[in-house]
Chain A
Amino acid sequence: MSAYYYFFKMRILTTLAYRFEVFTAVASNAVMLLATVFLWKAAYRGIGSVQEVSQHQMIVYAILSVVMGAVLSVNVQDDMYYRVREGHIATDFIKPVQLLGMFLAEDLGTTVSALVNRAVPLILLASILFTPPLPVSLTAFLLFVPSLMLSFLLLWLMGAIVGMISFWVLELGNLGIVKDAIVRILSGSLIPIWFFPDWMGTVSAYLPFQYMYQTPLSIYIGKITHSQAGTALAIQAAWIAVLAFIAYAVWQRAKRVTLIQGG
């Protein structure tokens, strides 16, 4: 365990080490925040509420979505892709630390440091310029926190699975960018699924993506009731079980392939 704690801590330290990077990365997120909120304000100009969501709720949703995107850091797919590409992966398999455990520790490290150096400034900025992005109720907030953690796990497992695919299709380039594009649109992080055409909403309910962003955000703004929130949390947990199983199976196969081919 101490080895993983070390990776976790090192990531926090290296993230803080480049001050110029830290400042501009926050600024980058701030641009996204401003652009998204102004776009929603333009959409709501003179309109009360659409799909039972008011302008205030939607703005809180948009702010939190940008903050989540800035905080939940998943580098596992890129790390894995580069380790396979550079041929380090074969030696990684014989190291005493579990590679996936190391990547998870590092991503958690980045996420924890991002809570301080990204979430805080972004929420402050949003509060000053627009409105403090407060949850609809204390209960909603208490349900939001576990849902957010489950979201992180979902995003992370998806990244790990896509990263492992590079064992087989390395020459196709980093497929993680394709996955990211799909997640952006189908997770509700750009626009909530309830604005999608009905048939897409139905399909989406059976895919894992909307449980990555839309579920915690809907809980937070009170778009879904507490009992619906309970169901949503259960679905999130179920998807985690499914993805974890897939990740494990793919990992075992990848390990076999690598050890036979010698990387």
Chain B
Amino acid sequence: MIELSNVVKEYTVIKKKSGLSGSIKSLFKPEKTIVRGVDGISFRIEKGEMVGYLGPNGAGKSTTIKMLTGILHPTSGTVRIGGISPQENRKSVVKQLGVVFGQRTQLYWDLRLGESFELLKRIYRIDEETYQSNLEMMYEVLGIDQLINTPVRQLSLGQRMKGDLAAAMLHSPSILFLDEPTIGLDVEAKQNIRSFIREMNAKRGTTIILTTHDLDDVEQLCKRLIVINHGKVVEDGPLSELILRMAPYRLLVLDLSEMPDPQTLHHHGAELIKQEGLKLTYRFHKSDISASELISGLSAKLSVVDLGVKEPDIEDMIREMYRSSSTA
């Protein structure tokens, strides 16, 4: 469906020298260097997937999205959307794409929200029936029917993002690119937007590719992650598998009613990593032992009043991925 193979994007950067003599020097003979923003990326995304495309700032995320959507031409390598190159056959490819840039709206600032929609209706040649039914759906899922006659400049950031999402979906695209869709939003607006994304994926089978720095987005939305750094793919796989590999530990925290006998604290499937009075913390490997096995094993020996299982911290995991790929 979406296919990148060995995509490279190079930029020419002009180096400015400092100082007066430097300025004069670069006036006549600028120093140019070539920088690789994207350095041989390949991946494949199937129809209906929800993929998180992650990486630290400057890793090449936006550049990749811009090549996938036909805005930029790769220096080498090929991009295919449904078998077609968005660079050579732009118009037929972009018809199936919806794109939202979280930091840049496509809505007209001074005009009513509905007017931007009307314009898109004409540009995408959406027939009246489809337009109305899509609009209905957006009203229902995003609750923007009250906003349609409000000038965009008067909308809150969250409302504007909803407007942008609706604008991107009016022509029923089969692929939706979201570049930081929840940036700067409050918790409630974030939840609304996430449920919208899930709904589009579930009801319409829209393929979703999402870049974000918000790890709640990742946890709640993405079944698969592609992580890049320095223009290269460093991880690509299902979220659960990545967690299993990168952060295979879980923690079991127990509250006891009385001081335990040190002899009884040991368990063969887990390691006691912390003991503070009546609070015990065990670390265990998902593949070695299940949580229920461990709990029943321990509660047989100890007087447990309360317990909790802590999932691995996804933020730590991602940070670890960036770090290890940087030092490599």
Interface residues of A (CB under 8 A from B): 12-13, 16-17, 19, 22
Cβ–Cβ < 8 Å partners of A13 in chain B: 20, 23
7 shortest A-B CB distances, which residue pairs?
A16-B23, A19-B27, A13-B23, A16-B27, A17-B23, A16-B24, A17-B16
Pairwise interchain contact B27-A22, C-beta atoms closer than 8 A: yes
A-B contact list, 5 entries, CB within 8 Å = A16-B20, A17-B23, A17-B26, A19-B27, A19-B28
Q: Chain A's nearest CB lies how many Å from the CB of B289?
A: 61
Pairwise interchain contact B20-A19, C-beta atoms closer than 8 A: no
Which chain B residue has the least Cβ–Cβ distance from A14?
B23
Q: Chain B's nearest CB lies how many Å from the CB of A114?
A: 14
- Does B238 sit at the interface, judged by CB under 8 A? no
Cβ–Cβ < 8 Å partners of B24 in chain A: 16
Pairwise interchain contact A19-B30, C-beta atoms closer than 8 A: yes
**Interface mask (B17-33 → A, CB under 8 Å = 1, otherwise 0):** 00010011011101000
* CB-CB contacts below 8 Å: B1-49 with A: 16, 20, 23-24, 26-28, 30
Cβ–Cβ < 8 Å partners of B23 in chain A: 13, 16-17
Q: Chain B's nearest CB lies how many Å from the CB of A10?
A: 11
Which chain A residue has the least Cβ–Cβ distance from B29?
A19
> In whole angstroms, what is the CA distance A17 to B16 when docked?
8
Which chain B residue has the least Cβ–Cβ distance from A116?
B24
Q: Chain B's nearest CB lies how many Å from the CB of A18?
A: 9
Chain A binding surface, main DSSP class: helix
Which has the most chain A C-beta neighbours within 10 Å: B16, B20, B24, B27? B27
> In whole angstroms, what is the CA distance A22 to B24 when docked?
11
Q: A19-B27, A19-B28 are in contact. List 8 more A-B contacts (CB 8 A).
A: A12-B20, A13-B20, A16-B20, A16-B23, A17-B16, A17-B23, A17-B26, A17-B27
Cβ–Cβ < 8 Å partners of B20 in chain A: 12-13, 16
Q: Chain B's nearest CB lies how many Å from the CB of A116?
A: 10
> In whole angstroms, what is the CA distance A16 to B19 when docked?
11
Which chain A residue has the least Cβ–Cβ distance from B30?
A19
> In whole angstroms, what is the CA distance A22 to B28 when docked?
11
Q: Chain A's nearest CB lies how many Å from the CB of B182?
A: 28
Which chain B residue has the least Cβ–Cβ distance from A117?
B27
Cβ–Cβ < 8 Å partners of A22 in chain B: 27
> In whole angstroms, what is the CA distance A199 to B30 when docked?
56
Which chain A residue has the least Cβ–Cβ distance from B16?
A17
> In whole angstroms, what is the CA distance A17 to B27 when docked?
7
Q: Chain A's nearest CB lies how many Å from the CB of B310?
A: 47
Cβ–Cβ < 8 Å partners of B26 in chain A: 17, 19
Cβ–Cβ < 8 Å partners of A16 in chain B: 20, 23-24, 27
Cβ–Cβ < 8 Å partners of B16 in chain A: 17
> In whole angstroms, what is the CA distance A104 to B326 when docked?
48
Q: Chain B's nearest CB lies how many Å from the CB of A40?
A: 33
Which chain A residue has the least Cβ–Cβ distance from B19?
A13
Which chain A residue has the least Cβ–Cβ distance from B28?
A19
Q: Chain B's nearest CB lies how many Å from the CB of A90?
A: 22
Which chain A residue has the least Cβ–Cβ distance from B17?
A17
Which chain A residue has the least Cβ–Cβ distance from B18?
A13
> In whole angstroms, what is the CA distance A12 to B30 when docked?
18
> In whole angstroms, what is the CA distance A233 to B156 when docked?
59
Cβ–Cβ < 8 Å partners of B30 in chain A: 19
* CB-CB contacts below 8 Å: B198-214 with A: none
> In whole angstroms, what is the CA distance A19 to B31 when docked?
13
Cβ–Cβ < 8 Å partners of A17 in chain B: 16, 23, 26-27
> In whole angstroms, what is the CA distance A13 to B20 when docked?
6
